């Protein structure tokens, strides 16, 4: 689909549509391929027919129009749905749009971790049943959260709804960024929410879990994928549409984009997510009339927005505050996002989080580590009446 957008040659869209339309239909391509290869498979470890028999693993058990849940290999699922969403928008296909909405809803509401991780099963790096979200044996591959961001990006291009940006931000700040060390040389492939380091070498159900980031992997898909998403972050921060420029995340940056009557140039600053205040400065040399749509995060019910020191009209649609005016150099939007420390409780249908609470400030989900809390983390408890205090960090974490 990206090739079609660049070349505008219809044959590329036709080919993408064919691939998606053939998926899950009979006669099945995987069966025919298996026979032509002499009933052999690259994935021979579990028997040569494993990948052929378990078509749900490749989201090929049914046509996409009949699939109801996120299923199979998590990375493949979000990559596939990224393509479906892209095709749905460019072909104006309402049926495929509904497929995306249905499968996104199942994934985001029933199979998503608070950290933006997906794919709870280590067996096959795959989705499980609804609400089956173990914390210690979870897979939550870094690539899966990157694919989740890609899917969210294409959904945002299809419809301006902040729910997609909320998930995108959650994945970026918690799983994707956590997948790479500050030195840029050590990585997490798997992102568990609970780890008991002493047990890992004895209990083989945790063979995939590592207590510290690794130098490299035999299947090293995650490190370059993290680099790819970080170097293309502008596509996630902004969603340009004909009627407005949507700002999805408040990462410090500067950008310039052509609009109908000129060029809109702006800068975002503010040391987000440590600081509550974000500034958006307009640097356009010539006045330009356009709409800026600012995402109001789902974790912040009391966001405040001023333009040149004055409060703006609250034109909020699907989680975005719209400001339309003739922008000129020197205009400044100040967005204040209060970040009290929040207690977040899981869905009661998710049995693995029963009786547990997560701590979140802004988009960041915090963890307790034995380095400063001792080894018996499972014995810690948080009284309901306790109050939180925020301390100023140092270096990268300086608020």
> Is residue 5 among the annotated active site residues?
no
* Residue 326 parent element (H or E): strand 320-327
Q: CB under 8 Å to 52, separation ≥6 — which residues?
A: 30, 31, 34, 41
Catalytic residue among 159, 194, 221, 367: 221
Contact 283, 274 (CB under 8 A): no
Helical axes 142-158 vs 74-91, angle rounded to 10°? 10
Catalytic residue among 100, 125, 157, 276: 125
CA–CA dist 35, 144 (Å, integer):
31
Residue 187, CB-side half-sphere exposure with 13 Å CA sphere: 20
Nearest CA-CA partner of 337 in 278, 389, 392: 278
Q: CB under 8 Å to 393, separation ≥6 — which residues?
A: 274, 399
User: In whole angstroms, how far apart are CA 8 and each of 82, 235, 248, 296?
Assistant: 19, 20, 27, 35
Per-residue b/e over 291-307, b at no fewer than 16 CB within 10 Å?
A: bbbbbbbebbeebebeb
> Is residue 143 among the annotated active site residues?
no
| DSSP codes of every residue in 170-220 | HHIIIIIGGGB-TTSS-B-SS--S---HHHHTT-GGGTT--SS-BS--SS-
Whose tokens are 């660049």? That residue is: 6
For the chain, where are the alpha helices, taking DSSP H only? 2-7, 10-22, 29-36, 50-53, 74-91, 94-110, 142-158, 162-171, 197-200, 222-231, 234-237, 370-373
Nearest CA-CA partner of 335 in 288, 298, 300: 300
Catalytic annotation, residues = 125, 221
């Amino acid at each position: 689909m990206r090739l079609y957008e660049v070349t505008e040659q219809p044959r590329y869209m036709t080919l993408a549509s064919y691939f998606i339309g053939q998926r899950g239909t009979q006669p099945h391509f995987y069966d025919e391929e298996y026979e032509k290869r002499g009933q052999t498979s690259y994935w021979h470890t579990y028997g040569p027919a494993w990948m052929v028999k378990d078509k749900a693993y490749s989201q090929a058990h049914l046509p996409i129009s009949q699939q109801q849940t996120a299923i199979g290999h998590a990375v493949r699922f979000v990559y596939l749905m990224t393509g479906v969403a892209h095709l749905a928008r460019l072909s104006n296909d309402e049926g495929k749009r509904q497929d995306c909405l249905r499968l996104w809803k199942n994934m985001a509401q029933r199979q998503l971790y608070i950290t933006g991780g997906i794919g709870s099963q280590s067996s096959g790096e795959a989705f499980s049943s609804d609400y089956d979200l173990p914390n210690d044996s979870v897979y939550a591959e870094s690539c899966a959260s990157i694919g989740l961001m890609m899917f969210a990006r294409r959904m945002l291009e299809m419809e301006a709804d902040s729910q997609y940006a909320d998930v995108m931000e959650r994945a970026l700040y918690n799983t994707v960024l956590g997948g790479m060390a500050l030195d840029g040389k050590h990585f997490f492939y798997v992102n568990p929410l609970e780890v008991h380091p002493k047990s890992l070498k004895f209990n083989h159900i945790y063979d995939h879990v590592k207590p510290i980031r690794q130098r490299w992997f035999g299947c090293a898909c995650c490190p370059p994928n993290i680099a790819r998403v970080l170097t293309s972050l502008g596509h996630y921060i902004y969603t340009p549409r004909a009627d407005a420029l949507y700002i999805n995340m408040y990462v410090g940056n500067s950008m310039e984009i052509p609009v109908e009557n000129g060029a809109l140039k702006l800068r975002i600053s503010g040391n987000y997510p440590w600081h509550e205040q974000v500034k958006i400065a307009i640097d356009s040399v010539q006045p330009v009339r356009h709409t800026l749509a600012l995402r109001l995060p789902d974790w912040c019910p009391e966001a405040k927005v001023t333009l040149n020191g004055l409060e703006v009209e609250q034109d909020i649609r699907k989680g975005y505050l719209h400001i339309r005016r003739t922008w000129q150099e020197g205009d400044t939007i100040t967005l204040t996002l209060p970040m009290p420390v929040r207690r977040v409780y899981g869905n009661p249908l998710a049995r693995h989080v029963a009786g547990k609470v997560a701590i979140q400030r802004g988009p960041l989900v915090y963890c307790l580590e034995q380095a400063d809390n001792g080894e018996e983390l499972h014995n810690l408890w948080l009284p309901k009446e306790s109050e939180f205090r925020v301390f100023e960090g140092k270096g990268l974490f300086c608020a």
